[in-house]
Structure 1
Amino acid sequence: MAKRSYPLSKVYGLLEPGPVVLLSTAHKGRANVMTMSWHTMMEFEPPLVGCIVSGRDFSFDALKATRQCVLNIPTVELKATVVGCGNTSGRSVDKFKDFGLTPAPAALVDAPLIAECYANLECRVVDTRLMNRYNFFVLEVLKAWIDPACKDPRTLHHRGRGAFMVAGETIKLPSKMK
C-alpha cells in the first residue's frame, strides 16, 4: 500500500484521545461552559486528567483563579449544544441559559454539574507547572457521577474542523487489567 504525506495541521484528528466534554466553571458568581476536546488521562487512581484551555477562552481565567471545574460528558443527543457552546464565548453569552442546560450542584467543587450530560467529573487543579507555557492544567477527579439509565452512551469525538465521530460498537478483547 502506498502512503502519502499528511498535513501536520490535521494530525490532531488522528490522535484525538477521547470524548468531547463540556467544561463548566464558576467564578465571581457566574457559571460558564466551554466545549473541550484536548484532554488526556494521565493516571488511574487517583484519576488525573491533563487538559488544555486556551488563554483566549473565558474559562481560562476562571479555572486559573478557582482551580476547580467539572468535566461533563455529553452524548450525541447534545451535539447541537456541544457545537453551539464551542462557537460562542462566555464573555458575552450565558451558555446555560442560551443552550437550555441545567446547572446542578456539585458535591465537592463550586462549579456546576450539567444535568443533561450522562457523566460528570468534579475536578480540582493539582498542577499548573505547564500552564504558563502551554495552557496545560492537570486535574484530579474528586468525585464522579454517572446516569445508570444510560447503558451505551454514544459520545462525540472531535476529528477537527467541524468533523466529529460518534462512539459506536463496544468490543471485548483479552486483558490482564482489572
Structure 2
Amino acid sequence: MKISLGAQPIAYPLPVFVIGTYDTNGKADAMVAAWGGICASEPPCISVTINPNHQTFKNIQETKAFTVSIPDRQHMKETDYCGMVSGKDRDKFQDTGLTPVRAEHVSAPYAGEFPVVLECRLFDIHEIGTARQIIGEIVDVKIEEAVLGYDRKPDLQKIGAFAFDVMKMEYYSLGTPIGKAWDAGKKFKQ
C-alpha cells in the first residue's frame, strides 16, 4: 500500500552536480545542485535549477557560461561543503583544497579532482516559481582516462558518482550494474 507524501520535490536518484562559475572579478566559485539532468540531445543540453539569490546564478547571468562536474565518492566532503556555504562569503576552492581549472571552451572553472566535467554555454533561463532553470548547451565533455572501461566508455563504478536523497539528507553511492539497457526488457517484446 502506498501512502501520500503530498506535493514535494522528490525524484530518485537525484544527481550531485557541482556547478563552476567565475564572478565578474574572475573569482572561481562552485555550488552543489541536485535538481538537474540532461534535457536535450540535439543540441546536447543539461539543465540545473538554482535559486536566483545564489552567487552562481548571478555569475551565469554575467558570464553566460558554467561547468557541471560529477564529483566522486572520494571528494564527497569537499562537495558537501560547496553546498553549505556561499561564494559571496567564502572561497570554496581555497577552503577545500580543490584545484580550480579554467575550462577550455567556456569562461568557467571546474575542480581538477572531479572525474567528469561538462563545459556549458548558457542556452536559456526559465523562471519556475521561486527558482530558475538554467539550460546549458554542452560544448565539451572532459573525463579522466582512469575512469574509462575496457571499451573506452565511461565506467560508472570507476567514476564513483554518488546521489542525493532529499528526504533523508544523505548521499548514496552508485555503480553496481543490474542489467543491460535496451536488452533486459526484450523478454516482454512479442
TM superposition score normalised by structure 2: 0.82
User: Which amino acid counterpart does residue 17 of structure 2 have in structure 1?
Assistant: V
Structure 1 pair 21–174 and aligned structure 2 pair: CA distance change class (3 A): closer
Work out the CA distance in 2 between the residues paired with 1:6 and 1:49.
Answer: 28
Q: Which residue of 1 aligns with 2:176?
A: 169
Tell me the equivalent position of 1:158: 164
Displacement of 1:33 in angstroms is 0.5
Task: Tell me how far 1:6 sits from its aligned partner.
Answer: 2.2
With 155-164 and 78-87 compared, the bigger mean Cα shift is at 155-164
Counterparts of 1:158 and 1:7, CA distance in 2: 20
The 3-state SS of whatever aligns with 2:103 is coil
Aligned to 2:3: 4
Rate the CA distance shift 1:144–1:132 in 2: closer, same or farther, 3 A. Answer: same
CA contact (8 A) 1:69 1:111 kept: yes
Give aligned-pair identity as a percent. Answer: 26
> Which among 101, 104, 108 is matched to residue 104 of structure 1?
101
Deviation at 1:166, TM superposition (A): 1.2
Q: How far is 1:19 from its partner?
A: 2.5
Q: Deviations over 1:101-130 (max 9, x none)?
A: 1011211111112100001110011112x1
Q: Normalised by the size of structure 1, how large is the TM-score?
A: 0.87
Q: Gapped runs of 5+ residues in structure 2?
A: 148-154, 184-190
Q: Which runs of 5+ in 1 are unaligned?
A: none
Distance 1:157 1:8 in 2: 21
The offset of 1:140, in angstroms, is 0.5
Q: Is the 8 A contact 1:21 1:73 kept in 2?
A: yes
Q: In the comparison of the two structures, how many residue pairs are matched? A: 171
Partner-residue secondary structure (3-state), 1:117? coil
Superposition misfits of 4+ residues, deviation over 6 angstroms: none
> Within the alignment, does 1:60 sit opposite 2:57 as a pair?
yes
- Mapped contact 1:17–1:40 kept (Cα < 8 A): no
* Contact 2:16/2:164, CA 8 A, preserved across alignment: yes
Query: Which of 145, 149, 162 pairs up with 2:146?
Result: 149
Quick check: 2:16–2:32 contact (8 Å CA) kept in 1? Answer: yes
Matched, 1:84 2:91: no
